[in-house]
Amino acid sequence: MKLKAKVLDLSTEEGPYIAILNEDDARRLDVFALDRIRIIYGKKEIIATLDISSKIVKQGEIGLFQEVIKKLNIKNNQFVEIFLEKKPECISYIKKKLKNETLNKDEIFSIIKSVANNELSDIELTYFVSACYSNKLSKEEIINLIKAILESGGRLELKDKNIIADKHSIGGVPGNRTTMIIVPILAAAGVTIPKTSSRAITSAAGTADTMEVLAPVELSIEKIKQVVEKTNGCIVWGGANELAGADDKLIKIERPLSLDSEGLLLASVLAKKISVNATHVLIDIPVGEESEDAKIKTKREAKKLSKRFIQLGKKFGLKIKVFISDGSEPIGNGIGPNLEARDVLKVLQNKYDASKDLKDKAIKMAGLMLDMIGKGNEKKAKEILESGRAYIKMKEIIKEQGGDPDITIDEIKLGKFSYAVNAKKDGYVRNIDNKAIAKIARIAGAPKDKEAGIYLHVKKGDLVKENNVLFTVYSKDNKKLAYTLDIFNENEKIVEIS
């Protein structure tokens, strides 16, 4: 059947390909929502998941999401041909895992190939993630999953680099922008560190969102190579290039559901490190013993996960060290892209009001990485930072990625609407609710609105007096700001004082 393309201003944000048929056309073809169709335009074709509507498209039209438009390079009112397509074979393998059966190499490769090609709907992907969460992956399944994710994307090949460093935090802590300090410290020490990072899904900012305040992060593999070969480092968004391509699609499903499958976590992290040909990797595992929402709640859990990282890393020739850190409160003062970028620049510029915990953690981790590689220690990392060499290197990286290396802290704007939350009594800060802090920052507009977020004026253990400011919320939208105040009034224990 030939249908006229209708360009829709709708997107799955790099997710599955979606097309919409008029219900009369769907009835004639005997197709239903979530069926698959093959769409052919010239020499290009894709398989899309179907939705049905009587209002969005007219009879004889086919509505196409932005991902389809981009892939087919098609314009409004051009004609396409459509054919009914069978469901991918890997659906049966997902069902198999739901029954707690072990998947073999071919079955795992089939699933990941369909993920990478956007052939699975979000519902089908969710079933796969849920199956891996409920029914633990075996060591062999994880190894095959790593290999499949690697095959789904490209590799960063750097010439004459015997040692390539990388680091990763398993997340769950607001702020925590240590990457943007560690990378320039190591790069200034002569260490090659091509860092691919994530955007936020349920947090107020990912490293990629924060780095984007200073420079573009959506770089091709070729551009990443140019940046790294010139500066020793980069900080880019992993989802913008072909490196471990299927992984970001799985993460997109995992995080909103908080389905942190250990097997998927191990495969995800290690595939990303192998895709940049890392040789030495530091894994940050924050432990939130007092936090209900922490990914890892005890040091015992953290040590168990550490062993698995190290054992699996050896299978792929990776030297891995694990850093078990405090994940009970935010790291840094700013929560939200611009606020976190300000924090990073203050540390790099050695400002008097720089966040001490962010600086200390970044130095500690950079020192561990230098020690792993045999190029120094914590003292060396501190010297590189405090001498200004790390800031000079960061400016080089920003410039090569296409940003303004001379951007000042004051040029990084904050939302024009704000309110401060004050302490209602004297006492010590006993707890800061990570999840609530992230939620308020997101309601204020972060990470899409880079000017939105929260600035924390206190840390756990601080002595505060009545009416001292605990935190300030920023937003570009007064209505969003008012809503964050409602959230705070519903839960005054966001910053607990006793």
- Is 87 in contact with 6 (CB distance < 8 Å)? no
β-pairing verdict for 280-287 and 165-169: parallel
Residue 81 CA to residue 313 CA, distance in Å, equals 47
What is the mean pLDDT of the segment spanning 332-336?
Answer: 97
Residues 6+ apart with CB under 8 A from 289: 297, 298, 299, 328
Residue 261 CA to residue 132 CA, distance in Å, equals 6
Please give the full DSSP string across 89-113, using - where no structure is assigned.
THHHHHHHHHTTPPP-HHHHHHHHH
Q: Two tokens at 108?
A: 């795992």
Residue 195 CA to residue 202 CA, distance in Å, equals 21
Residue 192 CA to residue 18 CA, distance in Å, equals 40
Residue 141 CA to residue 107 CA, distance in Å, equals 10
- Is 363 in contact with 378 (CB distance < 8 Å)? yes
pLDDT(68) > 80? yes
Summarize pLDDT for 273-329 with one digit per residue, the tens. 999 999 999 999 999 866 555 678 899 999 999 999 999 999 999 999 999 999 999
Is 260 annotated as catalytic?
yes
Residue 170 CA to residue 267 CA, distance in Å, equals 12
Tell me, what's the pLDDT at 152?
A: 85
- Is 23 in contact with 53 (CB distance < 8 Å)? yes
- Predicted confidence band of residue 200 (pLDDT cuts 50, 70, 90): confident
- Predicted confidence band of residue 492 (pLDDT cuts 50, 70, 90): low
- Classified by CATH at the fold level, domain 414-497 comes out as Aldehyde Oxidoreductase; domain 3 (3.90.1170)
The domains of the chain are located at 2-85, 90-135, 165-400, 414-497
- Classified by CATH at the fold level, domain 165-400 comes out as Pyrimidine Nucleoside Phosphorylase; Chain A, domain 2 (3.40.1030)
Residue 489 CA to residue 493 CA, distance in Å, equals 9
Residue 441 CA to residue 463 CA, distance in Å, equals 24
Which H or E element spans position 5? strand 2-7
* CATH architecture for residues 2-85: Beta Barrel (2.40)
Tell me, what's the pLDDT at 258?
A: 62
Q: Two tokens at 124?
A: 């089908």
Q: What is the DSSP letter of 24?
A: H
Average pLDDT, the chain: 92
As a dihedral over the C-alpha atoms of residue 203, residue 206, residue 211, residue 215, rounded to 10 degrees, the angle is -90
Buried b (16+ CB within 10 A) or exposed e, 116-132: bbbbbbeebbbbbbbbb
Summarize pLDDT for 387-424 with one digit per residue, the tens. 999 999 999 999 999 999 999 999 999 999 999 999 99
Is the model more confident about 266 or about 240?
Answer: 266
Summarize pLDDT for 94-148 with one digit per residue, the tens. 999 999 999 999 999 999 999 988 888 888 988 999 999 999 999 999 999 999 9
Q: Two tokens at 69?
A: 């438009």
**Segment among 35-49, 183-197, 254-268, 432-446 with least mean pLDDT:** 254-268
Name the maximum alpha-carbon separation found in the chain: 73
Cβ neighbour number for residue 102 with a 10 Å cutoff: 12
Q: Two tokens at 233?
A: 């480092």
Torsion sign across C-alpha atoms 368, 264, 101, 105: negative
Look-up of token digits 């490209």 = 154
DSSP H helices, 374-477, are: 378-386, 389-400, 434-443
Tell me, what's the pLDDT at 293?
A: 56
- Is 473 in contact with 436 (CB distance < 8 Å)? no
What is the mean pLDDT of the segment spanning 152-179?
Answer: 89
* DSSP 3-state of 471: strand
CATH entry, 90-135, from 2.40.30.10, 3.10.150.10, 1.20.970.10, 1.10.1060.10: 1.20.970.10
What is the mean pLDDT of the segment spanning 463-469?
Answer: 95
* DSSP 3-state of 171: coil
What is the mean pLDDT of the segment spanning 442-448?
Answer: 94
Q: What is the DSSP letter of 420?
A: E
User: 122, 260, 326, 360: which is the annotated catalytic residue?
Assistant: 260
Buried b (16+ CB within 10 A) or exposed e, 232-253: bbbbbbbbbbebbbbbbbbbbb
